[in-house]
């Protein structure tokens, strides 16, 4: 056993390890961020496309955005997770929601890791998580035509999304729709349990059923819809974000108008969007509710149409112009399916888009995103450290609606110059 032989072994190990890293990273980005295959079928970890996808993944998981395969990035890539991509193009059968509040499910093939009665109980409990947070009712059916078909399978199992054996991909689900829509599959190569060892079926099933109901992955680590598997939690499986999103998707929308007019002065009142059209200011809440302030008089309206997060409409005056278009029109990365707030600043010719803790700047004259974005909100807007719900530019200031408060922001001096209650804008 010579030093030369030892060095050759070390070099071979390093070469093999690098090849493994390349394989893991390319496979990960192809599956979850739609990295395109190399034309010659080679594994590559260089080039603008690969670097861009690494950055997209790093932004999604709140990592240091380098575009390189650093240790933190590789650790996330190796973590067990849901098989649904983070960029939400999993299937052309995906829909927004079920157009009914009673949803049927059926269990097909079982796992041998747990008794059938235990699987039945855990699946029922996972559906109950969403039932308690919404107006939905889940009914088990023995029919193969149930809305949500639940099955355990291994490797290729007939849906064009094969499992990868023990390890990374635990399960996947399809969004609401006909055919395969709603169906939920668990990788039977994993070790399924009802406790803290292996992978807890209740936790994974609850996550996947969120997809089957129309929810997307969340960047919030506290959310059940965060893509990576987290150890078993005995209580509060749903975060406040999860509850808000399922309610917004399946709300019954039958609250009485007088009560909603009283609620406009509630101390915890929040808005999802604010905009000025002519002499009127529009305040949007929970997709279907809108307050209009006209000459200091507040009017409540129930919106009779809905919209999807990934689309936008162009409005001129009081008229909607043309058909809805995808957010990708602005040049967002493909994983951006919605934004929290947007505000146009006429003086600079820029529209700012905010999502979680980052923001983009769109050049309205050149019709492109400015270089160097996204950036962190806390860096571009010192004094703002929370998710922005809505934003409005008025009289030279930007008003940021953050929860029940509004921050008056001097954009030129980069300074918060005032704070007030959101309900004060409705005359409260």
Is 157 annotated as belonging to a binding site? yes
* Residue 183 marked in a binding site: yes
Count of beta carbons in the 10 Å neighbourhood of residue 9 = 11
State yes or no: 289 annotated in a binding site.
Answer: no
- Pairing state between β 390-394 and 397-402: antiparallel
C-alpha–C-alpha distance, residues 322 and 214, integer Å: 26
Annotated ligand binding at 298? The verdict is no
Q: How many CB atoms lie within 10 A of CB 317?
A: 8
Q: Is there a binding annotation on residue 187? A: yes
338 is in an annotated binding site: no
Residue whose token pair is 């059209």? 277
Beta-bridged to residue 187, according to DSSP, are: 153
User: CA–CA separation, 330 vs 334, rounded Å?
Assistant: 11
Say if residues 267 and 305 touch (Cβ distance below 8 Å).
Answer: no
Is 393 annotated for ligand binding? no
What is each CA distance from 404 to 190, 293, 352, 359, 407, in whole angstroms?
44, 18, 21, 21, 10
Residue 120 known to bind ligand = no
* Residue 190 marked as a ligand binder: yes
Compute the chain's Rg from CA coordinates: 24
For 15, the enclosing helix (H) or strand (E) is: helix 3-32
Q: Answer whether 123's CB lies under 8 Å from 107's CB.
A: yes
Catalytic sites, residue numbers: 208
217 is in an annotated binding site: yes
Beta partners for residue 344, in sequence order: 351
Is 38 one of the annotated binding-site residues? no
The response to whether 207 counts as a known ligand-binding position is yes
82 is in an annotated binding site: yes
Tell me whether the omega of the peptide bond preceding residue 110 falls within 30 degrees of 0, making it cis: no
DSSP class of 38: P
Q: 272 labelled as ligand-binding?
A: yes
Angle at 175 (CA atoms; ends 184, 230), nearest 5 degrees: 60
Contact yes or no for 87/335 (Cβ under 8 A): yes
113 has binding-site annotation: yes
3-state secondary structure of 250: helix
User: Does the annotation flag 147 for ligand binding?
Assistant: yes
Instruction: Pinpoint the alpha helices (H) of 33-115.
Output: 48-60, 71-78
Extract the annotated binding site for Ca(2+): 113, 147, 164-165, 181, 183, 187-188, 190, 272, 342
Task: Give the residue numbers of the binding site for Zn(2+).
Answer: 82, 157, 159, 172, 185, 207, 211, 217, 225
Which residues belong to the annotated binding site?
82, 113, 147, 157, 159, 164-165, 172, 181, 183, 185, 187-188, 190, 207, 211, 217, 225, 272, 342
């Amino acid at each position: 056993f010579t030093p030369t032989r030892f060095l050759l072994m070390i070099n071979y190990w390093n070469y093999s390890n690098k090849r493994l890293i390349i394989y893991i990273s390319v496979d990960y980005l192809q599956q979850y961020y739609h990295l395109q295959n190399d034309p010659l079928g080679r594994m590559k970890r260089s080039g603008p496309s690969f670097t861009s996808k690494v950055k997209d993944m790093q932004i999604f998981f709140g990592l240091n955005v380098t575009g390189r395969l650093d240790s933190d990035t590789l650790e996330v890539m190796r973590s067990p997770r849901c098989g649904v991509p983070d960029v939400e193009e999993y299937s052309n059968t995906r829909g927004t929601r079920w157009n009914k509040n009673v949803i049927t499910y059926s269990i097909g093939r079982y796992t041998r890791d747990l008794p059938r009665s235990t699987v039945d109980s855990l699946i029922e409990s996972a559906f109950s998580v969403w039932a308690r947070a919404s107006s939905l009712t889940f009914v088990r059916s023995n029919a193969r035509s149930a809305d949500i078909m639940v099955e355990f399978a291994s490797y290729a199992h007939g849906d064009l999304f094969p499992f990868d054996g023990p390890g990374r991909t635990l399960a996947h689900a399809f969004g609401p729709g006909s055919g395969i829509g709603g169906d939920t599959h668990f990788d039977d190569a994993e070790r399924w349990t009802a406790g803290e060892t292996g992978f807890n079926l209740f936790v994974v099933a609850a996550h996947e059923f969120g997809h089957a109901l129309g929810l997307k992955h969340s960047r919030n680590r506290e959310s059940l819809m965060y893509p990576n598997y987290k150890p078993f939690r005995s209580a509060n499986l749903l975060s406040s974000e999860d509850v808000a999103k399922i309610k917004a998707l399946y709300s019954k929308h039958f609250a009485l108008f007088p009560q909603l007019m009283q609620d406009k002065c509630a101390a915890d009142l929040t808005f999802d969007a604010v905009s000025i059209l002519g002499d009127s200011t529009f305040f949007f809440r929970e997709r279907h509710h809108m307050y209009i302030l006209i000459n200091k008089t507040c009017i409540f309206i129930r919106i009779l149409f809905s919209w999807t997060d990934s689309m936008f409409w162009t409005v001129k005056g009081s008229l909607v112009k043309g058909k809805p278009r995808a957010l990708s029109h602005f040049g967002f990365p493909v994983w951006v399916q919605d934004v929290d707030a947007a505000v146009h600043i006429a003086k600079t010719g820029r529209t700012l888009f905010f999502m979680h803790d980052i923001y983009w700047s769109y050049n309205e004259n050149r019709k492109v995103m400015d270089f160097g974005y996204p950036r962190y909100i806390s860096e571009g807007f010192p004094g703002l450290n929370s998710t922005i719900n809505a934003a409005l530019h008025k009289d030279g200031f930007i008003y940021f609606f953050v929860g029940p408060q509004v921050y008056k922001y001097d954009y030129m001096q980069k300074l918060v110059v005032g704070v007030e209650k959101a309900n004060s804008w409705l005359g409260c």
